[in-house]
Amino acid sequence: MKKVAVIGVAQTNFSAAQEKTEVELFAEAALEAITKSNLTPKDIQALYLGNVLGDFSEGQGMVQAFAAENIGCKNIPANRYEGACASASVAVRDAYMWVASGFYDTVLVGGVERAATLGTALATRTFAMFSDSRYEFPSGITFPAVFAMLAHLYASKYNIPLEKLKEQMAQVSVQSYKYGMHNPKAQMKKEVSIEDVLKSFMVSTPIQLHDCCPFSDGGSALILASEEVAKKLTDKPVFITGVGQSSAGPLSNQSEHLPRIYSREVSSKQAYKMAGKTPDDIDVCELHDCFSIASLIAAESLGFFDFGTSGEAWMKGEAGIGGKVAINPSGGLKAKGHPIGATGGGQVYEIVNQLRGDVEPERMVEGAKVGMTDTLGGDGGTLVNIILERGW
């Protein structure tokens, strides 16, 4: 297999409901990524696009074809990826494999979503489509409710008083808001305290409003190229050195491992093995913090902290910049925003910028050489991990 580099990266502002179309949002990110790579649209051989709910938000299916044509990538193969919130990461992994195989040299990958445009009621309904529609949606399951049940299970399994766990969860949000303040592309720009989180509106016990990421609109785009092509175009190629992907069935059928998301353990092991890295080697990680409790669960399955202890780690600053591993210096899904089809692309965008030292000083992970992304779709149904390293 060939080595594959990320060259130009871009994302739109992640935001609340806005008026640009999905094609327009993606086009803005795509042209920026293409231009930053010293390429033109005619150089792009294929498009891999994450998009989940365009059918519902705009009545637009097959958006990838219109997106490719719109940016002057005429008649190239264009594929849409739907892996719920992990869609763009699935697209990145597939794009990686097409370049690694030698079939293509230069491809465009990313995602786009208008989840905020859906409004809370329809967004809640459509996000629930990533739980089992026959056997679990009838009970009224929603996305916050999934993680709410995992939070109670986490408290019970690791014998942590709920009050204490809630404070630790709140600290996860406090840290993310803090970094998001310094990210110009972030949706939420405000400082919150543990008290603010604990006073916020109850969504699904024990998860409150500030434990949840927002619904977001936004797009992301990356150029992947073979090593030979990358060397001609940039002196700072970031190599994809490990990828992993896994799947799982309905939440209740994952009972053997809950509150751990076992598909994450399968996926991250693949990525670590392929890259020849261990959790200790990761300097910076963008992980899937759709809810505060999701961060604690993710950090443990990724091997950063022992099971049941990552809340303590957040409280002590070990999950922040300057700690054991810098988690979500972008502000994460919580503060940066979560336009689901674009999210994985946004995570890679952040890691690439961190490895290049190309971020605001207040949230920079100094000297980071190895980064990782972690993207979860549904309640564990799709899981993708990507390890990226400096190539200079």
**Active-site amino acid positions:** 85, 338
235 binds other proteins (CB under 8 A): no
145 binds other proteins (CB under 8 A): yes
Contact between residue 287 and residue 296 where contact means Cβ atoms under 8 Å apart? no
Q: Which stretch binds other proteins (CB under 8 A): 42-50, 203-211, 335-343, 382-390?
A: 203-211
214 binds other proteins (CB under 8 A): no
150 binds other proteins (CB under 8 A): yes
Among 11, 204, 263, 295, binds other proteins (CB under 8 A): 204
Q: How far is the CB of 48 from other proteins (least distance, A)?
A: 27
The pattern of x and - marking residues 159 through 178 that bind other proteins according to CB under 8 A reads ---x----------------
Q: Measured between alpha carbons, how far is 288 from 328 in angstroms, rounded to an integer? A: 9
Distances (CA, A) of 302 to 151, 295, 306, 320, 353: 18, 10, 10, 16, 22
Q: Which stretch binds other proteins (CB under 8 A): 15-23, 89-97, 181-189, 198-206?
A: 198-206
Task: Tell me: cis bond preceding 77? Omega within 30 of 0 counts.
Answer: no
280 binds other proteins (CB under 8 A): no
Q: What angle do CA 285, 15, 34 make, to 5 degrees?
A: 70
Tell me whether residue 141 or residue 359 sits nearer to other proteins (CB atom): 141
- Residue 212's φ and ψ, nearest 5 degrees, are -105, 145
Contact between residue 67 and residue 78 where contact means Cβ atoms under 8 Å apart? yes
Tell me whether residue 142 or residue 247 sits nearer to other proteins (CB atom): 142
116 binds other proteins (CB under 8 A): no
The pattern of x and - marking residues 238 through 257 that bind other proteins according to CB under 8 A reads -----------xxxxx-x--
135 binds other proteins (CB under 8 A): yes
Q: Measured between alpha carbons, how far is 232 from 132 in angstroms, rounded to an integer? A: 47
Q: How many CB atoms lie within 10 A of CB 331?
A: 29
17 binds other proteins (CB under 8 A): no
Hey, which residues between 56 and 115 contact other proteins (CB under 8 A)?
A: none
The count of residues in the chain is 392
Total residues contacting other proteins (rule CB under 8 A)?
Answer: 41
Contact between residue 352 and residue 238 where contact means Cβ atoms under 8 Å apart? yes
Q: How far is the CB of 390 from other proteins (least distance, A)?
A: 42
Among 66, 137, 262, 307, binds other proteins (CB under 8 A): 137
Q: Report residue 302 as tokens.
A: 């990724």
Q: Which amino acid is at 27?
A: A
Tell me whether residue 62 or residue 202 sits nearer to other proteins (CB atom): 202
Tell me whether residue 91 or residue 207 sits nearer to other proteins (CB atom): 207
Instruction: Return the closest-CA partner of residue 97 out of 226, 248, 246.
Output: 226
What's CA 290's distance to the chain center, in Å? 9
Q: How far is the CB of 158 from other proteins (least distance, A)?
A: 13
Q: Measured between alpha carbons, how far is 143 from 139 in angstroms, rounded to an integer? A: 13
148 binds other proteins (CB under 8 A): yes
Tell me whether residue 162 or residue 266 sits nearer to other proteins (CB atom): 162
Among 4, 46, 128, 299, binds other proteins (CB under 8 A): 128
Pairing type for strands 284-286 and 370-377 reads parallel
Q: Measured between alpha carbons, how far is 309 from 196 in angstroms, rounded to an integer? A: 23
Q: Measured between alpha carbons, how far is 196 from 287 in angstroms, rounded to an integer? A: 23
Q: Measured between alpha carbons, how far is 204 from 206 in angstroms, rounded to an integer? A: 6
For other proteins, the binding residues (CB under 8 A) are 120-122, 124-125, 128-129, 132-142, 144-145, 148-150, 152-153, 155-156, 162, 202-207, 249-253, 255, 258
